[in-house]
Amino acid sequence: MEERSHEPLSVDALAAALPITPREAEVLACVASGMTNTQVGRKLAISVRTVIKHLEHLYPKLGVTSRVAATVLAFRVLGGGDSGGRHRPGTEQRRDPAEGD
C-alpha cells in the first residue's frame, strides 16, 4: 500500500493553542494530517499502543471523543476563531441529536 504525502500542522502552534503536551501535539498533528496509528508510530518512533494512549489522554483534554473531532478542532484552532487562538474545553457548541439533519 502506498503512503500518501501528509501536510503537517504546526506542532508548536498546536501545543501553544491547546491544553495538551508537546508529544500529544505531535500525535495530533500526524492524525490531523490523515495518518493512521501505525503511520504515526513509525514517524514518531513509538508503538501503536503508545499512539493510542496519547490519543486517549488528549481527547478529554480537548473535550472530544474521536480522532475526527480532534482533527476538526485542531484545524479550527489554528485557523483562528473568537477564542484568541486558545481553546477552552467544553466551550464548543454541540448539535442536539433530536434536531435531526
> Which pLDDT band holds residue 42 (cuts at 50, 70, 90)?
very high
Percent of the chain's residues with pLDDT above 90? 67
Mean pLDDT, range 54-70, rounded to an integer: 97
CATH class label, 11-78: mainly alpha
> Which pLDDT band holds residue 9 (cuts at 50, 70, 90)?
confident
Residues 6+ apart with CB under 8 A from 19: 61, 62, 87, 89
Cell reading at 3: 503512503
Residue 79, pLDDT score = 83
> Which pLDDT band holds residue 84 (cuts at 50, 70, 90)?
very low
81 within 8 A of 93, measured Cβ to Cβ: no
Q: Residue ranges per domain, the chain?
A: 11-78
Question: Has residue 83 got a pLDDT over 90?
Answer: no
Nearest CA among 58, 62, 55 for reference residue 77: 62
